[in-house]
A and B are shown apart, each in its own frame.
Chain A
Amino acid sequence: MSQEKPHISSYRSHVFVLAALIVLTGISVAVTTLELGRLDTLVAMLIAGAKAGIVLVWFMHLKFDNKLYTIFTVLVIVVFLLVLYVTFFDYSYR
């Protein structure tokens, strides 16, 4: 099996990840003051999804790793989103 050459991320990128997470946390607190009705959950999920994405891509190195890992991660997320969609499909027609 071929060995990929290791990638060592810089402190700068860690600080960037930390800052982005803090800012996004601030935003998700801030939006709770807005009255968005049914969109509330969606917005919260989108912000949380962006945070998870940042952690995956930079902090957990998906960007620098073998493409196979990206493919599997995307597939898993697709399955997860489909499961959510099917669940809410029931709720939206009740």
Chain B
Amino acid sequence: MSESTKSNHESFLEYKGKYRGILGWILSTDHKRIGLLYLYTMLVFFSVAAILGLLMKIQLIAPGHTIMGPATYNAMFTMHGIIMIFIIVVPGLPAVFGNFFLPLMIGAKDVAFPKLNLASWWIYVIGILIVLTSQFMGDGPPDTGWTFYAPYSFQTPANIVPALVGAFVLGFSSILTGINFVVTIHRLRAPGMKWLKMPLFPWTLYATAWIQILATPVIGITLLLTVMERTLGVGIFDPALGGDPILYQHLFWIYSHPAVYIMILPGMGVISEILPVFSRKRIYGYKAIVLSSLAIAFVGYFVWGHHMFTSGMSGRALFAFSFLTFLVAIPSAIKVFNWVATMYKGSLIFQTPFFWAVSFVFVFMIGGFSGLTLGSLATNVHLHDTHFVVAHFHFIVFGGTGFSFLAALHYWFPKMFGRMFDASWANMGWLIFFAGFLALYLPMFYLGIMGMPRRYYDYLPEFHGANILSSLGAILMIGGALIIIVNLVRSSRYGEKTNDKNPWGGKTLEWQADTPPTLENWEDIPEVTEKPYEYK
């Protein structure tokens, strides 16, 4: 304590604690440093997985063997999926911006369990390392896809076990972050911050944290059962031993559908922060956004069967799951309505975070509508396992979670680093990225409807035209991503220095803290009297 009062005016970036240099980071329990540790780790692995994606698109630029054969292609989409899902978008916004900004936004000095928080990052890194060993040991890299479907996942000679164990370990990190956030939000809100005065990003983190706690154990058990099936032949999923492979799909999606809401809810929270600030207007329908977040979290537990419409479930279950899937789209649509209504007649400010936020709304809607197309039984039979599904979830995971991540990064960048990014490079990066994104994924809707299946290294000649467009889009998008990343990394070191506490004119608490924040964020814990987003 005494040490920290002495350094009250030093920013968290410069503060010197017990350890120096890199140890001062990887052993720090400061929520802000931990948030940045996650950010840097993700940046590295996002780059790896993005390169894998680019290589796959180059393979698909023409039919036949272009730069790789089928086995390599299978290994690539598997690793691409495992990294992007389990290492990037599931921890994603909570681990980076939740850690950094949750305490700041609710007026706390740190999360409830700082040491547990550091442990989560270490467990995360250990999980990553275990996943990576799958590439180099045994009989070749995994080739099952990120879904590890039985029976193939216990029949393939490839090296599945480390990938399963690694994903299992990553799950622990996620659960611990969830527990930390639930307790933090219950116990550490600043005086006067009633539940309904809490900003919306913390609200979505709260809903997300409950999914992390409740759904993640299911995937943990499922992955372990698959390990046991491979190593001991326990016969849970193996029909030859009396098991049921469809049970695997049930268990996998009982987690993995709620997990898609782990990915998207915090992103929705970020958009709900940014739009009022850049419209200079109170958020439209605060309570509706809160309630729809909780509703999404709840109903989202019961729709997993829409991934299994063609797997041989009973007819009645098909009907029930399709109905529930349509229900869950309603709260998502409520949010879109609220965002648009927030901008309506506002004084819009056209700056980088705003561009990311509106483009989020655009791509999220396309993703959501295509979800409904897939959620109705008859069309699903035609579209399941085609490129249409690939387009759907990239629109919603990359376009939703990815865009909101970049929106958050630009929005909070000055607060995090005490420097400003170069706005013209950032805007150009956004434009190129956005154009590339659309060129990459829109043709996949068409390809899917025409019948091109997913997860094949080759295709029929009639699909060539749309694939060329899609692959060129990928190259353009990676170009945009490079501009964005180089600009942000450069700006974090050489950008124009700023101590402005509130560069965008935000109304939430984090904009009252120093820029960059000090070790314990506040000299005096702020008192909350107004609701968030009170623009007059």
Contact = CB atoms under 8 A, between A and B. Distances in A.
A79 B214 CA distance: 9
A30 interface: no
A22 B536 CA distance: 65
Interface string B279-317: 000000000000000000010011001000000011111
Given A1-B187, A76-B214, A79-B214, A86 B302 contact: yes
Contact of A89 (B254, B298, B301, B316): B316
B320 interface: yes
A83 to B, nearest CB: 6
What does DSSP make chain A's interface, helix, strand, loop or mixed? helix
A90 B250 contact: yes
Contact of A86 (B187, B298, B315, B320): B320
Contacts of A89: 314, 316-317, 320
How many of chain A's residues touch chain B, expressed as a range?
Answer: 10 to 19
A67 to B, nearest CB: 14
Contact of A90 (B187, B298, B301, B314): B314
Contacts of B187: 1
Contacts of B302: 82-83, 86
What does DSSP make chain B's interface, helix, strand, loop or mixed? helix
Given A86-B320, A87-B250, A87-B254, A94 B314 contact: yes
Contacts of A80: 214
Nearest to B297: A79
A87 to B, nearest CB: 5
A59 B314 CA distance: 41
Interface string A74-94: 001001101100110111111
A83 B301 contact: yes
B291 to A, nearest CB: 16
Interface residues of B, number: 14
B214 A90 contact: no
Contacts of B250: 87, 90
Contacts of B314: 89-94
A93 B301 contact: no
A89 B187 CA distance: 39
Contacts of A91: 314
A39 B191 CA distance: 53
A93 B319 CA distance: 12
A90 B254 contact: no
Interface in B199-225: 214
B254 A83 contact: yes
Given A82-B301, A83-B302, A87-B250, A93 B214 contact: no
Contacts of A86: 302, 305, 317, 320
A94 B301 contact: no
Contacts of B320: 86, 89
Interface of A: 1, 76, 79-80, 82-83, 86-87, 89-94
12 contacts: A1-B187, A83-B301, A86-B302, A86-B305, A86-B317, A86-B320, A87-B254, A90-B250, A90-B305, A90-B313, A92-B314, A93-B315
Given A89-B314, A90-B317, 8 more contacts: A82-B302, A87-B250, A89-B316, A89-B320, A90-B250, A92-B314, A93-B314, A94-B313
